[in-house]
Amino acid sequence: MRGPHNLWRLIRTGATLERTGAMNVVLDAFDATPALRFVARALGLPFKFLGYKGDPAMPPATRALTALGPAYIKFGQVLSTRPDVVGDELAVQLRVLQDKLPPFPLEVARKAVEYELGLPIAEMYSEFSEPVAAASIAQVHHARLAETGEEVAVKVLRPGIERAFQKDIDAFYLAARMVEIFSPGSRRLRPMEVIDHFNGVVQGELDLRLESAAASEFAANTVNDAGFQLPDIKWNYSARRVMTLGWADGAPMGDNDAIDAAGHDRVALSERVLQLFLQHALRDGYFHADMHQGNLKVAPNGDIIAYDFGIMGHIDEYTRRVYAEILFGFIRRDYQRVAEVHFEAGYVPADKNVDEFARALRAVGEPIFGMDATRISMARLLTYLFEVTERFGMETRTELILLQRTMVVVEGVARSLNPHINIWEVASPIVTDYIKQSIGPKAMIRDLGKTAMVLARFGPRLPALVEAALVRQSNEVYIDRRPRKRWIAVSAALGSVFTLGLIALIEALT
């Protein structure tokens, strides 16, 4: 974060925001204080002539970010996942940022592939096309494996992209620090953590081995999911800056005419895409977090194909249960339980009133459930829910925001296929089944089993652990006039027998 280049980059950024007309849009989205507005204007207005012009046909914010280059485009894409930070209107604008940057030359890509994989390109690929897509971080080529003749997609990082991103990320950290200083109210939104999240996303995308691993893990989790497929990763043709995977052939998810022409059932597709996302998020805790139409296709056999695994979401089992209970509570219109879950999870400060929070949640849910079923919107619910939780002092939770944002995006995909979809009706069986599996009696037995297994691993150490605890209490404790060590050994042995018996019982029941 050090160096004069950071301040210069911020000045150039401010100048571009001023020149493209995006400054007010961005400041309003962040609800900037007068002090922050003054600093931003001071960094931009006097140097407006230094700003990039951008494409006047674009909305101001996307025009500015596109003009500023790949790091800013990627940052805009990530911010589109954070409507809690930038607001819904700007989030929608940023979501339409297209990965259609000018490609780098074919010859540069071929040399990069040869360098990374250590073989002449003709020995690996019998065909290697001009770029078919150019994004902020990498571009994609259509190719054919020389050994098998299989069609593949080859993703190649842009030359020098790592250094360029690191330079801009340093400037982003400086900007976030300035926002915290001059706009104390923004600290609840954790701007430094937003940049940390962005940095983590980018670092994952700058090493294509990590994206390949994410795709492989995702494929292992979803291998038995009917109507869903992922391109195979070709590990022998992948490295840090090159990724080769099977070619995804099918109708683009955003092209309804092509889907209809192929004879696919759009109603069934709309329900499947929503249910698949919920299964991945709740069952696995690992989901595709950029599941928009541009990253989805419909295969000739009707399967949904997902690709581009640069942004994946992960939530732990406890958070999944909390999220499922919140959704389940809204589905059942049990606002008291939804409120209690927020307090039990520590999402809302304990000094707030749970009954008042439940009434506020009812004010969120009832108007939505009063609508026609086909007009019930998850996006609207989450927007209102965020407003309520903000009022009750709930701090931003990045993992939940990413999950909620993806839910909104998936809902948009589903509605684009079938405008009359009933979101709750489609989601209810998935959420209900997860609740039964994770919160019911079987889940309690399974949790006890996990606890017992942990205790069993500590079995040989139990005597020493118990003895150490008792020694700290007193060095002269005797029980039934027998030395403490003998009693400890007997207790530990009984504990081990009980633990092993509990494990056997649980295994028999499950």
CB 357, CB 349: distance < 8 Å: no
Distances (CA, A) of 508 to 45, 437, 440, 502, 505: 72, 17, 17, 10, 5
Q: Residue 84 catalytic?
A: no
Helix, strand, coil % in the chain, rounded to nearest 5: 65, 10, 25
Q: Quick one: tokens of 15?
A: 């100048």
CA distances from 398 to 84, 198, 209 (A): 10, 11, 24
Query: Residue 340 is which amino acid?
Result: E
Taking alpha carbons only, the member of 245, 226, 201, 230 closest to residue 296 is 230
Q: Is 475 helix (H, G, I), strand (E, B) or coil?
A: coil
**Which has the closest alpha carbon to 72: 171, 205, 220, 200?**
171
Q: Tell me which of 84, 99, 168, 290 is the catalytic residue.
A: 290
Strands ordered across the beta sheet of 251-252: 228-229, 304-306, 296-298, 251-252
Chain position carrying tokens 């999220």: 323
Give 154's strand partners: 141, 244
CA atoms within 13 A on the CB side of 229: 16
Query: Which of 68, 48, 50 is CA-nearest to residue 58?
Result: 68
- Total number of residues shown for the chain: 510
Cα torsion angle, 48, 1, 71, 104, sign: positive
Contact status, residue 431 vs residue 282, Cβ threshold 8 Å:
yes
> Parallel, antiparallel, or unpaired: how do β-strands 304-306 and 228-229 relate?
parallel
Token pair listed for 401: 């925001």
CA-based nearest residue to 322, from 348, 342, 349: 342
Crossing angle (nearest 10°) for helices 423-439 and 317-332: 130
| Bridge partners, residue 100, by sequence | 134
Q: How far apart are CA 361 and CA 365, in angstroms?
A: 6
The three-class DSSP label of residue 284 is: helix
Q: In Å, how far are 21, 325, 417, 426 from 273, measured between CA atoms? A: 38, 21, 10, 10
310 near 205, Cβ under 8 Å? yes
State the Cα–Cα distance between residues 463 and 468, nearest whole angstrom: 9
- Beta strand segments in 402-470, E: none
The catalytic residue positions are 290
